[in-house]
C-alpha cells in the first residue's frame, strides 16, 4: 500500500494564541490544557491532604482532636471530601486530564487533540466542578458528610452533616465533572483511534497511551451510571421523589415521611457500576505509565508487550461485571455472591500477569535508579500488597468479616490511593524535563521519594491488622462511646493509630517539598536537553523542548518500530527512538 495520506491532520488549522490570556487561560494547546488540569488537580489535592490531617488527628488523638474543635460533623465531612476529591478530582483528573492531554498527541505524533476547542472547554468545566464542590464549604450546613459513597437514604436525611447544601453541591459538582470528562474523553479516544501519525499502529503505541485509552473508554461508559444516580438523588433531595427512598421513620428528619417505595440498593448498584470501573479508570493509566517508566529506566524493553495490552483490555472489559463485590454484605440477593466472587477473582489473573511482566522487565536489565524509577519500583511493591489484599475482599465469604473495617481502608489506599499517586510522582519526575526543559532537583526528589515510599507503607500496612482485630472504619471515636477499652479496639490499637497519624503528618508535609521542587526547578533546574533519559517514544523527538504549539515541525514524524527498542544487540546506543528507520 502506498504511504497513506493523513487526513485532516496535516492541514489542521491551529488556533494560535495572541495574548497571555489566550495562551495560558483560553488555550487550545493540549500541553497547556494538561498543565492547567495538573495544577488545578494538585491544588485541590492539597485540600484533600489537609483534610486527611484533620481526620488522622482525630483518629490518632481523639481527645486532643475533640479539644481542638474536630466535631463528628467535621470528621465525617473531612472523610467524605477527602475521598471524593482524591478519587475524582485529583486521580481521575490528573491521570486522564493531565497525563492524557499531554501524552496522547505527543506520543502518537499528532499536532494536537482532534477538537482543541472542546478540549479547552473541558478544562474550564472541570474547574467549574471543582469550584462548585468547594462551595459546599461556604454554604450553610457545610459540605456533605455522607461518606464518599453517598449512600441514600442517609446522604439526604438530617442526621448526616451537610444535608442543607453540601449534598446538592456534591451531586451537582459530580454531574458537571462528568460533562467535563466526557468532552475530554471523546477527544482522547477519537485522537487515539483516528489521528495517529504514519507508522503508528495500535500495537506500536506506548503502554501509557494504551492505559489512558482503555481508562477513557471505561470512563465514557461508567460515568453515565454516576450521572444518572446523581440526577435521581438530586430529585429525591429537592422535590421529594422516591427513587432511592423507601418508607422511613426518621427521628431527625420530619420531611422523611414524604418518601415511599424507593430502593436504596438501586443506588448502590448504580454507584458501583460506575465505582468499580472507576478503580480501573485510575489504575489503568497508572499501569501504562509505570510500564514505560520501568522500561526506560531499566534500559530494557517491557516484557511481554502484547500480553500487557491484552491484559489492559481484559481488565477493562471484566471491570464492568464485578461491581457488586462492593455489596456482598449490603443485603442484595445472596446468590449474586457466587457470580461476583468468581468474576472478581478472574480479574486477578490479567492483573497478576501485569505484575509479573513488570518484575520480569527488571530481570537482566541495566537499572538506573533515577527518581522516576524509584517511584516506579515502589509502585510495583505497593500495588502487589494492594492487589493481593483485593483477593481477600473479592472472595465473597472472606470479605464478610473484613468489610467495613480498617482492612478495607488499607486495601484501597494501597491499591488505588498510594499506587497511582506514586506513578503520578514518577511520571512528573519523568516528563517534567520535557514540559519545562529543566530537570527537577535530584536530591529533593530522593528525599521526597524515600519519605513517601517508606511512610505510606508504614501508614497502611499495619492497618490491615487492625481490620483483622475488627476495628470498624468511619468511626469518629473508638473509645468514647464504649467507655473504655474493647475487644475490637485494644489499647495497643490506639497506640498504633497515634503512630500512624504522626507518620501521616510527616509524609503529608514532605509533599510540600515536592511542590517546592516543582516551582524552584522551573527557574533553577538543570537544562535537560531534548531527551535526558534516553527514551524511545515520540514525545522525546520533538524539534523543540519544550514542544511548541503544533508539536512537530513542517512534517509529522514517521514511526518505524515499537516504543521499546532498548539495548538492541549490535546497536551502538542502548536505545532506538521510534522514528528511526529500520536498516534495510
Partner 1 sequence: MAEASAGHATIIQDWASDVTTFKGVPWGKAMMWIFLLSDTFIFSIFLTSYMTVRATTAEPWPNASEVFSLMAFGHSVPLLLIAIMTFDLITSSGTMALAVNYGYRRDKRKAIFFICATAFFGAVFVGMQMFEWYKLISEGVRPWGNPWGAAQFGSCFFMITGFHGLHVSAGVVYLLIIAYRLHKGVYDKTNFEIVEIVGLYWHFVDLVWVFIFAFFYLW
Partner 2 sequence: MAVAIFLLVLVVGSVVFTFVSPWWFTDIASNWGTIDTTVLITFWVCGVVFVAVGLFMAYSTWKFRHQEDSRAEYEPENSRLEWALTIVTTIGVALMLAPGLIVWEDYVNVPDDAQEFEVLAKQWTWAFRFPGEDGKFGTVHVRNINVDNPFGMNPDDPNGADDVLINRNEVHLPINQPFKALLRSNDVLHDFWVPEIRAKMDAVPGMITYFWFEPTKVGKYDILCAELCGRGHYTMRGEFFIDTQEDFDSWLAAQPTWEQMQAGISPKVYSALARRGREVADTQGCFACHSLDGSQVVGPTWQGLWGSERQLTDGSSVTVDEPYIIESIREPAVQLVEGFAPVMIPYGADLISDDDVEALVAYLREETSPEEEAAEE
Residues that bind partner 1 in the complex, under the rule CB under 8 A: 4, 6-8, 114-115, 182, 185-187, 189-190, 193-204, 220-221, 223-225, 227-228, 231-232, 235, 239-243, 247, 258, 260-263, 266, 269-270, 273, 559
Q: Which of 383, 404, 514 is nearest to 456 (CA)?
A: 383
106 burial type by CB count under 10 A (0-12 exposed, 13-18 middle, 19+ buried): buried
Footprint of partner 2 on 40-99 (CB under 8 A): 66, 71-73, 76
H helices of 195-263, in order, are 207-239
What residue has cell string 454484605?
A: 329
By the rule CB under 8 A, 488 interacts with partner 2 = yes
CB 49 within 8 A of CB 511: yes
> Residue 45 or 162: which CB sits closer to partner 2?
162
| Torsion sign across C-alpha atoms 140, 272, 46, 464 | positive
What SS3 string covers 40-68? HHHHHHHHHHHHHHHHHHHHHCHHHHHHC
Q: Which of 393, 337, 330, 280 is nearest to 152 (CA)?
A: 330
What residue has cell string 523527538?
A: 541
By the rule CB under 8 A, 368 interacts with partner 2 = yes
CB 397 within 8 A of CB 444: no
* Partner whose footprint covers residue 442, from partner 1, partner 2, none (CB < 5 to 8 Å by kind): none
What residue has cell string 465469604?
A: 397
Length of the chain: 584
By the rule CB under 8 A, 395 interacts with partner 2 = yes
As a whole number of angstroms, the distance between CA 203 and CA 307 comes to 11
As a whole number of angstroms, the distance between CA 126 and CA 131 comes to 9
By the rule CB under 8 A, 329 interacts with partner 2 = yes
By the rule CB under 8 A, 346 interacts with partner 2 = yes
Angstrom distances, CA of residue 92 to CA of 74, 179, 208:
25, 14, 15
> Residue 184 or 390: which CB sits closer to partner 2?
390
Shortest CB 373 distance to partner 2, Å: 8
As a whole number of angstroms, the distance between CA 512 and CA 505 comes to 12
Shortest CB 537 distance to partner 1, Å: 15
Cell of 64: 486532643
Q: Which of 384, 498, 502, 580 binds partner 2 (CB under 8 A)?
A: 384
Shortest CB 190 distance to partner 2, Å: 30
By the rule CB under 8 A, 7 interacts with partner 2 = no
Tell me: cis bond preceding 149? Omega within 30 of 0 counts. no
> Residue 113 or 439: which CB sits closer to partner 1?
113
Shortest CB 70 distance to partner 1, Å: 38
Q: Which of 30, 196, 237, 300 binds partner 2 (CB under 8 A)?
A: 300
Task: Report the b/e string of 217-241 with b at 16+ CB within 10 A.
Answer: bbbbbbbebbbbbbebbbebbeeeb
As a whole number of angstroms, the distance between CA 453 and CA 375 comes to 8
Shortest CB 222 distance to partner 1, Å: 8
By the rule CB under 8 A, 169 interacts with partner 2 = no
Q: Which of 121, 123, 131, 115 is nearest to 97 (CA)?
A: 123
Q: Which SS3 state, helix, strand or coil, does residue 548 take?
A: coil
Shortest CB 324 distance to partner 1, Å: 14
* Partner whose footprint covers residue 502, from partner 1, partner 2, none (CB < 5 to 8 Å by kind): none
> Residue 35 or 293: which CB sits closer to partner 2?
293
Shortest CB 275 distance to partner 2, Å: 15
Footprint of partner 2 on 119-158 (CB under 8 A): 145-147, 151, 153-154, 157-158
Cell of 346: 478472574
Shortest CB 222 distance to partner 2, Å: 23
By the rule CB under 8 A, 221 interacts with partner 2 = no
* Partner whose footprint covers residue 231, from partner 2, partner 1, none (CB < 5 to 8 Å by kind): partner 1
> Residue 456 or 545: which CB sits closer to partner 2?
456
Q: Which of 218, 415, 192 is nearest to 313 (CA)?
A: 218
> Residue 488 or 522: which CB sits closer to partner 2?
488
By the rule CB under 8 A, 447 interacts with partner 2 = no
By the rule CB under 8 A, 529 interacts with partner 2 = no
> Residue 2 or 397: which CB sits closer to partner 2?
397
Shortest CB 312 distance to partner 2, Å: 15
Q: What are phi and psi of 67, to 5 degrees?
A: -65, -30
Q: Which of 306, 315, 324, 317 is nearest to 284 (CA)?
A: 315
Shortest CB 327 distance to partner 1, Å: 14
By the rule CB under 8 A, 465 interacts with partner 2 = yes
Footprint of partner 2 on 399-418 (CB under 8 A): 400-405
* Partner whose footprint covers residue 115, from partner 2, partner 1, none (CB < 5 to 8 Å by kind): partner 1
As a whole number of angstroms, the distance between CA 344 and CA 334 comes to 16
> Residue 7 or 484: which CB sits closer to partner 2?
484
* Partner whose footprint covers residue 138, from partner 1, partner 2, none (CB < 5 to 8 Å by kind): none
* Partner whose footprint covers residue 151, from partner 2, partner 1, none (CB < 5 to 8 Å by kind): partner 2
* Partner whose footprint covers residue 239, from partner 1, partner 2, none (CB < 5 to 8 Å by kind): partner 1
As a whole number of angstroms, the distance between CA 250 and CA 265 comes to 18
Cell of 85: 476529591
Q: Which of 179, 228, 353, 498 binds partner 2 (CB under 8 A)?
A: 353
As a whole number of angstroms, the distance between CA 307 and CA 361 comes to 13
Q: Select the span of 2-10, 165-173, 376-384, 502-510 touching partner 2 (CB under 8 A).
A: 376-384
347 burial type by CB count under 10 A (0-12 exposed, 13-18 middle, 19+ buried): buried
> Residue 4 or 67: which CB sits closer to partner 1?
4
Q: Which of 98, 127, 107, 289 is nearest to 191 (CA)?
A: 107
* Partner whose footprint covers residue 365, from partner 2, partner 1, none (CB < 5 to 8 Å by kind): partner 2
* Partner whose footprint covers residue 186, from partner 2, partner 1, none (CB < 5 to 8 Å by kind): partner 1
Shortest CB 234 distance to partner 2, Å: 18
Amino acid at each position: 500500500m502506498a504511504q497513506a495520506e493523513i487526513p485532516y491532520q496535516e492541514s489542521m488549522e491551529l488556533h494560535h494564541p495572541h495574548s497571555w490570556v489566550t495562551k495560558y487561560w483560553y488555550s487550545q494547546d493540549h500541553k497547556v490544557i494538561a498543565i492547567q488540569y495538573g495544577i488545578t488537580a494538585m491544588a485541590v489535592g492539597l485540600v484533600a491532604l489537609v483534610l486527611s490531617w484533620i481526620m488522622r488527628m482525630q483518629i490518632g488523638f481523639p481527645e486532643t482532636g475533640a479539644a481542638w474543635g474536630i466535631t463528628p460533623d467535621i470528621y465525617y465531612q473531612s472523610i467524605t471530601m477527602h475521598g471524593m476529591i482524591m478519587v475524582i478530582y485529583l486521580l481521575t483528573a490528573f491521570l486522564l486530564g493531565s497525563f492524557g492531554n499531554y501524552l496522547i498527541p505527543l506520543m502518537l505524533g499528532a499536532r494536537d487533540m482532534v477538537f482543541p476547542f472542546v478540549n479547552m472547554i473541558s478544562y474550564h468545566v472541570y474547574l467549574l466542578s471543582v469550584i462548585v464542590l468547594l462551595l459546599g464549604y461556604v454554604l450553610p450546613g457545610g459540605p456533605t458528610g455522607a461518606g464518599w459513597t453517598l449512600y441514600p437514604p442517609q446522604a439526604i436525611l438530617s442526621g448526616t452533616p451537610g444535608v442543607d447544601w453540601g449534598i446538592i453541591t456534591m451531586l451537582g459538582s459530580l454531574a458537571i465533572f462528568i460533562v467535563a470528562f466526557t468532552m475530554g474523553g471523546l477527544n482522547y479516544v477519537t485522537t487515539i483511534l483516528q489521528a495517529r501519525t504514519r507508522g503508528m499502529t495500535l500495537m506500536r503505541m506506548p503502554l501509557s497511551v494504551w492505559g489512558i485509552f482503555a481508562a477513557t473508554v471505561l470512563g465514557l461508559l461508567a460515568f453515565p451510571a454516576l450521572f444518572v444516580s446523581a440526577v435521581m438523588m438530586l430529585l429525591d433531595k429537592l422535590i421529594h421523589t422516591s427513587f432511592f427512598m423507601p418508607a422511613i421513620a426518621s427521628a431527625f428528619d420530619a420531611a422523611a415521611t414524604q418518601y415511599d417505595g424507593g430502593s436504596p440498593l438501586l443506588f448502590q448498584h448504580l454507584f458501583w457500576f460506575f465505582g468499580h470501573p472507576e478503580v480501573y479508570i485510575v489504575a489503568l493509566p497508572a499501569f501504562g505509565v509505570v510500564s514505560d517508566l520501568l522500561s526506560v529506566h531499566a534500559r530494557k524493553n517491557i516484557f511481554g508487550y502484547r500480553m500487557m495490552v491484552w491484559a489492559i483490555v481484559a481488565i477493562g472489559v471484566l471491570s464492568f461485571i464485578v461491581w457488586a463485590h462492593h455489596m456482598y454484605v449490603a443485603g442484595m440477593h445472596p446468590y449474586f455472591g457466587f457470580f461476583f466472587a468468581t468474576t472478581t477473582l478472574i480479574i486477578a489473573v490479567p492483573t497478576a500477569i501485569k505484575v509479573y511482566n513488570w518484575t520480569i522487565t527488571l530481570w537482566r536489565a541495566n537499572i538506573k535508579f533515577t527518581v522516576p524509577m524509584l517511584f516506579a519500583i515502589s509502585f510495583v511493591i505497593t500495588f502487589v500488597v494492594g492487589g493481593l489484599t483485593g483477593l481477600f475482599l473479592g472472595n465473597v465469604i472472606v470479605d464478610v468479616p473484613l468489610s467495613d473495617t480498617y482492612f478495607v481502608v488499607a486495601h484501597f489506599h494501597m491499591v488505588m490511593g498510594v499506587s497511582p499517586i506514586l506513578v503520578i510522582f514518577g511520571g512528573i519526575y519523568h516528563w517534567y524535563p520535557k514540559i519545562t526543559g529543566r530537570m527537577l532537583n535530584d536530591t529533593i526528589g530522593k528525599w521526597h521519594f524515600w519519605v513517601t515510599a517508606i511512610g505510606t507503607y508504614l501508614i497502611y500496612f499495619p492497618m490491615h491488622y487492625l481490620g483483622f482485630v475488627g476495628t470498624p472504619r468511619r468511626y469518629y471515636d473508638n473509645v468514647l462511646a464504649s467507655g473504655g477499652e474493647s475487644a475490637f479496639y485494644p489499647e495497643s490499637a490506639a497506640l498504633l493509630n497515634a503512630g500512624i497519624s504522626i507518620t501521616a503528618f510527616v509524609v503529608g508535609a514532605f509533599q510540600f517539598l515536592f511542590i517546592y521542587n516543582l516551582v524552584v526547578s522551573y527557574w533553577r533546574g538543570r537544562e535537560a536537553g531534548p531527551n535526558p533519559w534516553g527514551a524511545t517514544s515520540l514525545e522525546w523527538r520533538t524539534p523543540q523542548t519544550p514542544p511548541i504549539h503544533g508539536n512537530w515541525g513542517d512534517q509529522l514524524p514517521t514511526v518505524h518500530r515499537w516504543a521499546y527498542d532498548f539495548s538492541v544487540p549490535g546497536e551502538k546506543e542502548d536505545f532506538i527512538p521510534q522514528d528511526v528507520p529500520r536498516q534495510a
